[in-house]
Amino acid sequence: MNHRILILTLSAVFCCAAAMSQEVRFIRIETTEPFTPVYQSEDGLETVQAKGLNTSSTGSKKWFRVAAEYATDAGWIDRLTLEYYILFPGETNAFKGTVHYADVPAGRGHLSEMYLHFNSYARHCKRGVIQYAVVALIDGRPAAVETNRRLPEGWWKTISTHPYGLLDRSDTPFAVFNAERFDAPCR
């Protein structure tokens, strides 16, 4: 009889552990400095057209981009929130950005991006290591965290943030690229 109770107890523990498996996991976080894209038609006119769209870059204006590639295990996630925190060397306030996604299907290869406007980037970025934290929340509860600054633990929770923050990609000229890699944003 005790053997059966032990087996049932272990089965319940394993079932609970499986139910609490990680619903979101970060595959990689990447930071880059893309130039402002210019949309041109085939004859070189600066315009946005669906047919024959080519892109090029301007020569001097660099944005700051932070991108998170992630995977989800749940069948569907009704609402997924990603919070980004960026701390530039020598700064005491972090830049924060938040994006909400709806109807996120299970699978790999989801992509999310936030940007810092080129003027703010030119003003605040100094040489050195840029610290970041990306926090995934499902229904307001933390589901995953990725950071390149380990100490102090949870540093992004206690640091002050700039009054202006990171921009969601839909608020930038990068919004038209790779649309199918991004989940549906919701406000």
When the pLDDT of each residue in the chain is averaged and rounded to a whole number, the result is 82
Vertex 15 angle, CA 10 and 100, to 5°: 150
The pLDDT of residue 44 is: 56
Q: How far is CA 20 from CA 14, 138, 143, 146, in A?
A: 10, 13, 10, 19
pLDDT in tens, 140-172: 999 999 999 888 999 999 999 998 899 999 999
The pLDDT of residue 80 is: 96
Mean pLDDT of 40-62: 56
* pTM (global) more than 0.85: no
Write the single-letter amino acid at 48: V
Which tops the pLDDT comparison, 62 or 14?
Answer: 62
Which residues share a beta bridge with 110? 70
Instruction: Please classify residue 173 by burial: count the beta carbons closer than 10 Å to its beta carbon, then call 0-12 exposed, 13-18 middle and 19+ buried.
Output: middle
Backbone angles phi, psi at 121, to 5 degrees: -65, -45
- The token pair that represents 151 in the structure block: 């100490």
- In angstroms, rounded to a whole number, what is the distance separating the alpha carbons of residues 135 and 142? 7
